[in-house]
Amino acid sequence: MNELIYSLNIRPHHFLCILGFRGLGYSEKFVSNMEEVAKKLRSDFTSFITLVLECDAICAACSHNVEGKCLKSDVSEVEVAAMDTKCLQKLGFKAGDSVSADEVWKRVKERITLEDIKEICRDCEWWELKYCLEGLKKLKIS
């Protein structure tokens, strides 16, 4: 039986968020969606991910997503796109690339350093918790 193959649109920096995700978020709806997407990306390595610089499958349930734009603040859209661009550069991908989840995780493990994650995530409101940093350290030793 052939399995339906489909692609999730994912912002590159969200792979770093998933590393440290602990069930916190902007709302119950957001947390539930984040858990579902994170579970899929961690377990279904055959699915394809399209790397995007816009609201994605995780943003779909975010209260700050208004008509596909992050409106958390006046500069959110620019700041998040900058995080995504840095991730793409470090991972060796381009916006619009369609790749397997397995390949993305492999490159996160091999190419994102602790210094990289500090640089990429330092302006994120969740950074002070250091969950993504802890998650990257665990990934590196697995």
pLDDT digits (tens, 9 = 90+) for 11-27: 999 999 999 999 988 89
Total-model pTM: 0.91
State pLDDT tens for residues 89-100: 999 999 999 999
DSSP 59: G
β-strand 98-100 against 48-51: which pairing, if any?
antiparallel
Domains of the chain, residue spans: 7-141
**Predicted pLDDT at 6:** 57
In this predicted model, which residue has the larger pLDDT, 40 or 6? 40
As a dihedral over the C-alpha atoms of residue 47, residue 51, residue 57, residue 63, rounded to 10 degrees, the angle is 160
Is residue 7 very low, low, confident or very high in pLDDT (cuts 50, 70, 90)?
confident
- Burial category of 107 from C-beta neighbours within 10 Å (exposed 0-12, middle 13-18, buried 19 and up): middle
**Predicted pLDDT at 3:** 45
